[in-house]
Amino acid sequence: MAMTIADMLERTTDAFAAAGQPVRLEYRNARTTKWDVKVISNSSQALLQLAGRVPESKMVKRVSVKGNSAFVEFNDDYVMQEVHRRLAGLPIGGSWFRGKRIVVQFIDPNSTKALHLGHLYEAILGNALAALLEGRGAAVRRTCFVSDVSRSVCEAMAGYEKFGGEATPQERHEKADHMVGRVYAQYAAAYYKQHPAELDNEDPTRRETALVGDEADDYVRRYQAGDRATRDLWLRIRNWVLEGQMATLERLGVRLDTVQYGSDTDDIIAKLLDNGLQRGVLQREPSGAIVYHSGKEEYKTVVMTRPDGFPTEHARQMAQMISVQAVCATEVDRYYTLMGMEWKPAWQLYENILRGCGDGDSPYHDIVAPVCHGMVMVEGSKMKSSLGAVVLADEFIDRVEALREIQALSAATDGRVAVSAIADVVVKSFFLSRRMNKDLGFSWNQVTSAADNPGWEIATAWCAVNSAPGAEVARPPPLDFDVVRTLLFKGFDLERAFNFAASEIDLSLAVKALVRFAVLVNGAVRGQSHGLAIELSRSILHHGMASLGIACDGPAAAAKVAASTAAEAAS
């Protein structure tokens, strides 16, 4: 099998690494550049050895060394072969992730409400991470854990009883999860009115840990007792919410391979509590509540069950962690679990509790890696769904799709690129371009601003390479091969950046690289480039978008487009 440019570049970097020499590659970045790849190293001797190992051939036109750089230029015929490899969607490089088995757990919603901007952010992050790893050759499974039985769920049930009027979502002409979220917020608002001191409590399980004696607690009691009518209402509420949430995820092109439910963890929780009490890790208080005393300032007391024996969210989260230990032992090389920064202290305590309860032989703690992200701050404030102070994901996407600028971009393609696909680029790129380790400041003006949202550059490029053909011209533009080879080598640069972003779990780096390529594409297409340049741009751009789960269904969709593009180019 003939060596590819990717093979040569990989062998080059491996050779420098084996010799303990740092090396950096730069790729042709303009049509006027006289080289294709620049190899930069502090060792001029190693560069000279490289030049000796890569003589002029059918593949390489020339290699020259100047100072701390070696300049490699490839033969035109060979570059054209590589262009057609790229158009056919063939692999263009290696990655540490190739062949790895990876789980990405994300979203983890409650079955009490519609997805809001915070959920949207994590859904986009998790889906993009999964797509990025798939694009590097990993076998990825997407999973989420639905908290479907809790004090909050019983509040939604009580809210439906008080404010729902026994009407179905269809009867109210309301999206199912929106309806449940509305009555849940109404009930929670009444709760906060009676308990105003809890408004500023940042514990995400604060209302789960004590007996209140209200209608929601009555539902907790009846659920525990197995009351048939209560269980029927619980299942109806849960299914309504999940139906709406999954419709939102489908709209985003986010798929889930596995959905776990908190209601299925009762047996695991019972064993966890029994082990913890026997080993002295957990204590039963005089009230009957089972707790863990952390000895830390934050989460001094972790309540595992309420005095009535009802498990809290803490217990159910730990049960979910236990439930995947067998998978980690036999089926997974890495398990990424996404969570908001506010959950990290609790998660670390969960790990301590599980270790103390006797799972020391499990590889879980070595394989599972938390991927933490900041909170979405709307106009500088935190969202509280229990107070109704949220921006719903569906409403936000509707508003983006209605933008005149997006409608105009779609119209310029004669509908080849749908309004929903352009909105997907704009929405996802906005969230992915922010650094995960900081709170995300959200404002509508930032979303719509090309200066603040790189999605507009990407969307413009994607529409440009899918634009409607213009009037027939007497003479098609000649092939500018310098533009084609620049696009090709910037495609290698994009792949390098994606590999690095995957290794660092930093999606913002991948978006920045995609934007750089989009800028190049926009310049090439505006310059009336030959059809081959447009086809190559479309293939590389689509692969980049698919690698972040943007406006497509992932790497499989990218391969399909690549095959279609190759056929068009050949004709």
Clarify whether residues 151 and 291 are in a common domain: yes
- Mean pLDDT over 292-316 rounds to 92
pLDDT (0 to 100) of residue 50:
79
Q: Say what percent of the chain tops pLDDT 70.
A: 89
What Å distances lie between residue 386 and 141, 150, 389, CA to CA? 31, 14, 8
Indicate the pTM of the whole model. Answer: 0.91
Establish if 95 belongs to a structural domain.
no
Residue 28 lies in a domain: yes
Is 234 found in the same domain as 142? yes
User: Residue 438 — φ and ψ, nearest 5°?
Assistant: -125, 155
For residue 8, the tally of other CB atoms under 10 A from its CB is 16
pLDDT at 238 over 80: yes
Q: Examine the pLDDT at 477 and tell me if it is beyond 90.
A: no
- Which pLDDT score, from 0 to 100, does residue 362 have? 75
Indicate whether 559 pLDDT > 50: no
119 and 267: one domain?
A: yes
For residue 262, what pLDDT is reported? 97
One domain, residues 352 and 497: no
Q: Do the domain assignments include residue 169?
A: yes
pLDDT classification of 561: cutoffs 50, 70, 90: very low
Q: Which residues contact 74 (CB under 8 A, 6 or more apart)?
A: 5, 36, 59, 60, 61, 82, 485
The token pair at 90 is 């063939």
Average pLDDT score over residue span 214-241 = 97
In the predicted model, is pLDDT for residue 388 greater than 50? Answer: no
Greatest Cα pair distance, the chain, in angstroms, is 91
Least confident piece of the model among 82-96, 292-306, 432-446: 82-96
| pLDDT band at residue 527 using 50, 70 and 90 as cut-offs | low
* Residue 153: closest CA among 236, 212, 72: 236
Average pLDDT over residues 395-408: 97
Q: Which of 91, 106, 95 is nearest to 141 (CA)?
A: 106
Q: Select from 351, 385, 419 the last residue of a domain.
A: 385
What are the φ/ψ torsions at residue 65 (nearest 5 degrees)?
-115, 130
What token pair was written down for 237?
């509420």
pLDDT at res. 76: 93
Residue 560 predicted with pLDDT over 60: no
| Per-residue pLDDT at 30 | 87
Where does 252-384 have alpha helices with state H?
Answer: 266-278, 313-323, 325-330, 344-356, 364-367
Q: Which is nearest to 431 in space by CA: 141, 107, 128?
A: 128
CATH number at 559 reads 1.10.730
> Of 189 and 201, which is predicted with more confidence?
189
Q: Are residues 411 and 530 in the same domain?
A: yes
Residue 389 to residues 116, 189, 376, 466, Cα–Cα distance (Å): 10, 11, 13, 40
Query: Is the per-residue pLDDT at 275 higher than 60?
Result: yes
- pLDDT reported for residue 512: 97
551 has pLDDT over 50: yes
**What CATH number corresponds to the domain at position 251?**
3.40.50.620
Report pLDDT digits (tens) over 495-515: 999 999 999 999 999 999 999
pLDDT band with cut points at 50, 70 and 90 for residue 192: confident
Q: What is the mean predicted confidence (pLDDT) over 184-189?
A: 91
Task: Identify the H or E element spanning 26.
Answer: strand 23-27
Q: What is the DSSP string of 354-405?
A: HHHTT-TT-THHHHEEEEEE--EEETTEE-BGGGTB--BHHHHHHHHHT-HH
**Same structural domain, 129 and 207:** yes
CATH of the domain at 47: 3.30.1360.70
Is position 450 within any domain? yes
pLDDT > 50? residue 484:
yes
| Residue 29 resides in a domain | yes
Asked if residue 41 belongs to a domain, the reply is yes
In a domain, 47, yes or no: yes
Same domain, yes or no: 372 and 415: no
Question: Are residues 380 and 293 part of one domain?
Answer: yes
Q: Is the same domain home to 513 and 549?
A: yes
Which DSSP string corresponds to 404-420? HHHHHHHHHTTTSS-HH
Q: Which of 543, 465, 454 is nearest to 498 (CA)?
A: 543
| Statement to judge: residues 366 and 441 lie in one domain | no
Task: Please report the beta strands in 155-310, taking only residues with DSSP state E, as ranges in sequence order.
Answer: 258-261, 283-284, 290-293, 301-305
Q: Of 93-97, 203-207, 368-372, which gets the smallest average pLDDT?
A: 203-207
Q: What string of DSSP letters covers 446-497?
A: HHH-TTT-THHHHHHHHHHTTPPP-S--SSPPPP-HHHHHHHHHHHHHHHHH
Split into its structural domains, the chain has a count of 3
pLDDT given for residue 558 in this prediction: 43
The C-alpha atoms of residue 85 and residue 131 are separated, in whole angstroms, by: 22
> Which among 444, 436, 347, 350 has a CA at the least distance from the CA of 391?
444
Identify whether residues 381 and 410 lie together within a single domain.
Answer: no
Domain boundary (74, 95, 128) is at: 74
pLDDT beyond 90 at 232: yes
In a domain, 485, yes or no: yes
Check residue 372 and give its pLDDT. Answer: 97
Most confident of 35-44, 99-108, 544-553: 99-108
Q: Determine how β-strand 139-146 pairs with β-strand 258-261.
A: parallel
Integer angstrom CA distances of residue 534 from 84, 171, 467, 477, 542: 13, 50, 10, 12, 12
Lowest mean pLDDT among 191-200, 374-383, 419-428, 436-445: 191-200
Instruction: For residue 156, give the nearest of 93, 232, 234, 223 by alpha carbon.
Output: 234
Instruction: Please determine, for residue 230, whether its predicted confidence score (pLDDT) is greater than 80.
Output: yes
Residues 347 and 422 in one domain: no
* pLDDT value, residue 382: 64
Residue 571 confidence class, pLDDT cut points 50, 70, 90: very low
Please write the tens of the pLDDT for every residue from 31-76: 889 999 999 998 888 888 877 776 656 788 989 999 999 999 999 9
The answer to whether 548 and 432 are in contact (CB under 8 A) is: yes
Which of these three, 355, 385, 415, is where a domain ends? 385
- C-alpha to C-alpha distance for 326 and 102, rounded to whole angstroms: 14
> Which of 86-100, 108-122, 409-423 has the least mean pLDDT?
86-100
**Averaged pLDDT, 444-462:** 97
List the domain range (segments joined by +) for residue 563.
402-570
Is the confidence at residue 450, as pLDDT, over 90? yes
